[in-house]
Amino acid sequence: MGDQELIQELRQGNESAFRWLVENYRNRVFHTALNILQDAREAEDAAQETFIKVFESAAQFRGESSLSTWIYRITVHKSLDKIRRRKSRERLHRIMPWWMPDEKKSNEPEFHHPGVAAENKEKAAILFEAIASLPEKQRIAFTLIKVQGMRYEEACEILEQNTKAVESLVNRAKLNLQKKLADYYATVRHTDQ
């Protein structure tokens, strides 16, 4: 099914077209959200919210970008919304811990990406923690380009930035990660000797 045909079917509320969309984009949407959120449960929620938004907004799709780019853009926005809500809840919990006593604390267990081999889990957890600490735009650009392996052209469309801006974000992210990970790698080198 082509993009235009799929959008037409979604605009008409065709449930089989929606099922086709979910089946064909589910893994990509979930992994994009997972790489941004670093929480499988939140990534699943963000993926569901993305598909609902796509279905409800099909009439607004103008075709200025590819359907996949539009879906990725929605996924990124839904993931960022979840991060912002998480940060707001954490701030509220710090101010009034008695109000939400069962709320999950910010010292969550380390994130382990399901695609990382067991022997690399510790290194990956440290890397993902460093990525999570990057400024938002750097984190998203780095995640799309370096973690997901997306082409710069598509990432530029998703982020609605030109190539130079995205390259700059990725380069700054790399520099920040090098600084953040320098101590870890110095310690690893020292213990290996």
pLDDT in tens, 89-147: 777 667 776 665 565 554 444 555 665 555 667 777 788 889 989 999 999 999 999 99
pLDDT tier for residue 87 given thresholds of 50, 70 and 90? confident
Residue 135 Cα distances to 59, 143, 166, 176, 191, angstroms: 33, 12, 13, 10, 31
Phi then psi dihedrals of residue 157, to 5 deg: -65, -45
Q: Is the pLDDT of residue 65 over 50?
A: yes
The mean predicted confidence, pLDDT, of the chain is: 85
Range scoring the smallest mean pLDDT among 56-60, 79-83, 103-107: 103-107
Q: Express each pLDDT in 17-39 by its tens digit.
A: 999 999 999 999 999 999 999 89
The pLDDT assigned to 108 comes to 47
For residues 56-73, give the mean pLDDT.
89
Q: Tell me the pTM.
A: 0.74
Q: Which residue has the higher pLDDT, 179 or 110?
A: 179
For residues 170-183, give the mean pLDDT.
92
The pLDDT assigned to 25 comes to 95
Residue 80 Cα distances to 4, 109, 130, 175, 177, angstroms: 28, 20, 17, 22, 20
